[in-house]
Chains A and B, each alone.
Chain A
Amino acid sequence: MNQSRVSRCPNRFGWVAVLVLVLISPEALALEANEYRQFMGIDSRRLIWFLAQMHLFFGAFVLGVPLFAVIVEIVGWRSADSKLDKLAYEFTSLLSVAYATTAALGGLLAFALFTLYPTFMGYMAGLFKDVMFMYALLFFAETFFLYLYYYGWNRMQGGGPFPVKLQWLFKGLGILIIGVAVVLLFGGFGLQMRGDTRSFIALLYILPLGVGLLILRDLKSSHILIGILLNIAGTAIMQLANSWAGFMMSPAGVDQEGELIGTVWQVFENILATPIAIHRMLGNLAFGGLVAGAYAAVKFIGAKTPAERAHYDWMGYIANFVAICGLIPLPFAGYYLGREVYSTSAVMGNNMMGGDFSWTFIIQAMLVGSLFLISNYYLWSGMTRIPGSDRYYKYIKFILGALIISFAIWLTPHNLPLTSGEVGDMGGSQYHPTLKFMGLMPAKNAVVNLIILSTFFSFLLYRRGNKSDVVPISQQGRIPQIVISLAGLVAVAIVGQYALSMFNLDPAELDLPADRAHYFRTVGYLLAFECAMAVLAVILALRDRGKLAQGLYMTATALSVVIFLGVYGFVVMEKASPFLRNIAVSQFLQLISCIILFRGARELGKLQWGKMTVRSQYALLLLTFVITMNMGLMGFIRSGLRGDWHIFGVMRDTSPWSYTPSNYTMTEMVSLAVLVFMVGVAFMFWLGGIAAKNKAPDEPADKPDEVPDGSAASSIPPVGG
């Protein structure tokens, strides 16, 4: 990797040092001849690559864990479950050590970049100096909120509610801010921003702030608001740093000589900045959850008593659940990022899918497929702790079959390296007569949706495992009825609005002739049918036919998403290729509507936490290893796409390391980084354990609690019938 290829998500404390250099950097931005240096004869690119990867791993952990912690804290608060609150605290306690380590690595990376690649970094610092100042200020904000969040945890428990007038004031403010977020989201203002940036700001900054104020009523909810502010600051820091990485791939606001000809906002809001930020945000959530899960797994493996095993089994389960919430939309965020990469440069896009990185993507497909396969295995293992779940074991082989077939198709490349002789054996074509179809996008879209649906189905089985009879909804009071109706409304709204847009889509917008509009209408009718099925499912559920409703809607979704649109995708690819991405969006929306509609069921009975095989804990560990390796691999692809450019099309990499490393080099570098990271994390967990042991007995600590009952855990995963 070249130097710029690895400056993915620069740093934290280190940038404070950078800012000092920025202050004295010259104003002129025009490019000069690149200067490269080495430290003790070490390959500068590999050094930067390793440091950046380490910083990124720790940074993702530091950003992912607060997300995880606040979600768990909110659910614990809403369900009055002190165990969830303690769990959130336990993970937050790990943050302070990780935070300092991230900062130290950030400093090291920054100094390495400035000393080894002075020309490039001088240019970047000159161009981004305003953004870097904001970065530093936000860093102070994040530090402030993090320590307030951690050290204020116990002090902000309990206490009476705030005066009613004050509560109403906060509610009013919250509603006002949520209103601002909604107006911004739908383009009431901020139209000069890219749509994705506007949505990112509305949904991840303004909306959570509004919600935090809306729920403000006592000390505990104030603590949650601090947690939300901590996440807002962390997300903003990540977004700012992403703008640098995005700029290096899709520069904006500068001319071919690197001179600033636009505005700093244009430079900041380059095409790839927000798509990368969205992808990284979801990745951080999954990563934070899985590192937490790995912690629980190690503790489980070494547990001495059933109580310990029960505690860490439960902890691992919740961590895995949060991770899956981040994992499910991740492939779609990846598609969006990939599409924007193609929009930026077809050369870069072709290189990604068919050039230097085509085989890297095969490895990536193996890793992503493994993530889903192992997640399902973990769920199936979890069913052993659920009395009565053996009724559903018979379905597992079918789910496994669907997953393996999907996985195989997901992995199948469109073409393979062949000799002339092999081509002759296949009738003169480099494409296999049957398998070539499996390598195309429609097939991959279909199977990725089937993988997600299968995983969701595993969840349903898991959640139903301990239910002998479904309690009729008519006997559950009004709230479940309202929740199901609202979920139905949301599902219809999500799918319905896209159905309408399909009927109104002008073929010219996709550079297609007018006679291709019927392809859009077909999808529109299909989505309208999905809406009708959602309505029918809600009606059936309200009439105490919940199981039938669920089966009907899932079957309809699977048929539509996997079978119909999977096959129809090939037709569209042949006749109206640009419309293929709309097909992918249709599949995604139907899938999401299916997941939304069937959340919110209650769980009955007790789960036997701790009755898990040790194998399942290795599965949890493997998930963490795989996602960490995948992060390293994806970073290699993303930054390597620039080829021999520090800044794509603007500043060439003229260093001796200006070439794309092989996949073997990539796996070596990533493995080294993963190994060092995991050892570092284990050390941090050990330190956290010592700190917890030194705490007063009334404080949450790294000690086994009583075995949580099923209802405690059920408040987290709101899936099932």
Chain B
Amino acid sequence: MRSNAIVRVFVFLLVVLGTYMWIGQAITAMTGGERKAASVVEVTPEGGEAIFWGKGRCFTCHSLGGEGSAVRCPNLGQFGEKFPLPIGARAEQRAKERSEETGTHYSSTDYLVESLAKPDAYLVEGYKNEMAIVYAPPISLNLKEIKAVIAYLQSQGGDLDLDNIENPGELAQSYYARIAAASAAGGGDPGNGEEMFADTCSDCHSIAGDGGDIGPDLSRIGEKGLKFISQSILRPTRKISDGYETWVVVTKSDERKHVGLKSGDTPAEVQITKATGEVAVIPRDDIREIKQDEGASVMPNDLTEMLTVKDFQDVLAYLMMQKGDEASAKEAAQ
């Protein structure tokens, strides 16, 4: 009797699991199977297609005509009344409209690069800017992969111009630089990095004249490379720029210890600027002791607790773009 019960329960279990697998099979048959990410990508429509439906995860939000089922973001194919043109033709039309409006030549490549690098530049009516930063984690497309996606999108009803994709105009070039800098910095988002910089760093550091002067000017910090910037944030005492050493001054009158940058030094007095921005002017005759502290930096050493991994990557990406020229500063600010 009991063994019969176990057999019956076992058969019941098999029926349940069979139904479960049938549901899985039916759904997979309807939605398509596994999409394996392409390992090597060429800048061709085929390479872009592999990225669009694979590693780039574009299909999460965009459909392409009747392909895919996402509706969060605009359909990139010809679809219903709202999208009478596929994205390649759409890009050409918008580039033409903008050229006429501004008097400056825009190509469909410019439009497509901009829509990937700075998606809020043009929003389709009825849609919000929900586009992920495709060159930042977790998607982290490199420049070549992005170019491949642009080739794929351009081929959707438009004139594919691979030469223009490789050697575009000034606008697209500036976005390419932005993407390359972000990729070099581990794929951070420089736009968010700029905000993080303004919130966390600009009280002490300036870029292109904006910000505080307690710490070094960072307008050209990108030239020093990723490793240097990363180490300077994480371990500020390892390499302190000349003129930004930490000084400790102990006064005779009240035994107070002043720690900060020596921002003024005359025969009559010493001026110490503290990390808080407070400036202490100490007469020479009130100084009991003055010394440089090589093991300390005015820069906070708890930044790792203030920044998440993503914020850190974003700030790095933003700083990597600071190479002194006005264009990169403007581009970063876009």
Task: Give the Cβ gap from B319 to chain A, nearest Cβ, in Å.
Answer: 13
Confirm or deny: B167 has a beta carbon within 8 angstroms of a beta carbon on chain A: no
Binds A, one of B32-40, B93-101, B106-114, B210-218: B32-40
| Distance A365 CA – B100 CA, assembled complex (angstroms) | 51
| Residue ID in chain B nearest A645 by CB atoms | B138
Interfacial residues of chain B within 121-173, with CB under 8 A of chain A in the complex:
130, 132, 137-140
B304 touches A261 (CB 8 A): yes
> Which residues on B sit within 8 Å (CB–CB) of A346?
130, 132
| Distance A416 CA – B234 CA, assembled complex (angstroms) | 48
| Distance A347 CA – B130 CA, assembled complex (angstroms) | 9
B21 touches A251 (CB 8 A): no
| Distance A341 CA – B33 CA, assembled complex (angstroms) | 25
Task: Give the Cβ gap from B233 to chain A, nearest Cβ, in Å.
Answer: 9
State which of A302, A414, A658, A678 has its C-beta within 8 Å of the C-beta of B4. Answer: A302
| Residue ID in chain B nearest A672 by CB atoms | B17
| Residue ID in chain B nearest A357 by CB atoms | B60
Interfacial residues of chain A within 400-432, with CB under 8 A of chain B in the complex:
414-420, 423-424, 428-431
| Distance A678 CA – B188 CA, assembled complex (angstroms) | 46
Total A-B pairs, Cβ < 8 A: 181
A420 touches B139 (CB 8 A): no
| Distance A346 CA – B29 CA, assembled complex (angstroms) | 28
User: What size tier do the contact residues of chain A reach?
Assistant: 35 or more
> Which residues on A sit within 8 Å (CB–CB) of B291?
none
> Which residues on B sit within 8 Å (CB–CB) of A629?
16-17, 20
Binds A, one of B6-14, B245-253, B267-275: B6-14
A359 touches B27 (CB 8 A): yes
Interface string of B33-74 (1 = CB under 8 A from A): 111110000000000000000110101110101101111100
State which of A423, A650, A662 has its C-beta within 8 Å of the C-beta of B80. Answer: A423
> Which residues on B sit within 8 Å (CB–CB) of A350?
60-61, 72, 130, 132
Confirm or deny: A674 has a beta carbon within 8 angstroms of a beta carbon on chain B: yes
| Residue ID in chain B nearest A356 by CB atoms | B60
B33 touches A266 (CB 8 A): no
> Which residues on B sit within 8 Å (CB–CB) of A648?
137-138
A354 touches B72 (CB 8 A): yes
> Which residues on B sit within 8 Å (CB–CB) of A644?
37, 55
Task: Give the Cβ gap from A615 to chain B, nearest Cβ, in Å.
Answer: 11
> Which residues on B sit within 8 Å (CB–CB) of A304?
1
B309 touches A255 (CB 8 A): yes
Interface size of B in residues (CB-CB distance below 8 Å): 69
State which of B1, B35, B60, B78 has its C-beta within 8 Å of the C-beta of A659. Answer: B35
Confirm or deny: B310 has a beta carbon within 8 angstroms of a beta carbon on chain A: yes
Confirm or deny: B241 has a beta carbon within 8 angstroms of a beta carbon on chain A: no
> Which residues on B sit within 8 Å (CB–CB) of A665?
24, 28, 34
| Distance A113 CA – B234 CA, assembled complex (angstroms) | 32
Interfacial residues of chain A within 365-392, with CB under 8 A of chain B in the complex:
366
Confirm or deny: B318 has a beta carbon within 8 angstroms of a beta carbon on chain A: no
State which of B5, B70, B230 has its C-beta within 8 Å of the C-beta of A255. Answer: B230
Interfacial residues of chain A within 84-134, with CB under 8 A of chain B in the complex:
none
Task: Give the Cβ gap from A657 to chain B, nearest Cβ, in Å.
Answer: 9
| Distance A263 CA – B37 CA, assembled complex (angstroms) | 35
| Distance A398 CA – B3 CA, assembled complex (angstroms) | 39
B4 touches A659 (CB 8 A): no
Confirm or deny: A649 has a beta carbon within 8 angstroms of a beta carbon on chain B: yes
Binds B, one of A7-15, A315-323, A441-449, A618-626: A618-626
| Residue ID in chain B nearest A358 by CB atoms | B69
Known: A304-B1, A420-B65, A429-B80. A660 touches B23 (CB 8 A): no
Q: Which 7 A-B pairs have the closest CB atoms?
A: A667-B24, A302-B5, A649-B137, A256-B186, A355-B60, A417-B69, A302-B2
Please give 15 more A-B residue pairs, beta carbons under 8 A apart, in addition to A256-B185, A351-B60, A675-B13. A298-B6, A301-B5, A302-B6, A345-B138, A363-B27, A418-B69, A430-B75, A622-B16, A645-B138, A661-B34, A664-B27, A664-B29, A668-B24, A671-B20, A675-B14
Give 6 CB contacts A-B under 8 Å: A346-B130, A350-B72, A350-B132, A354-B70, A417-B30, A649-B310
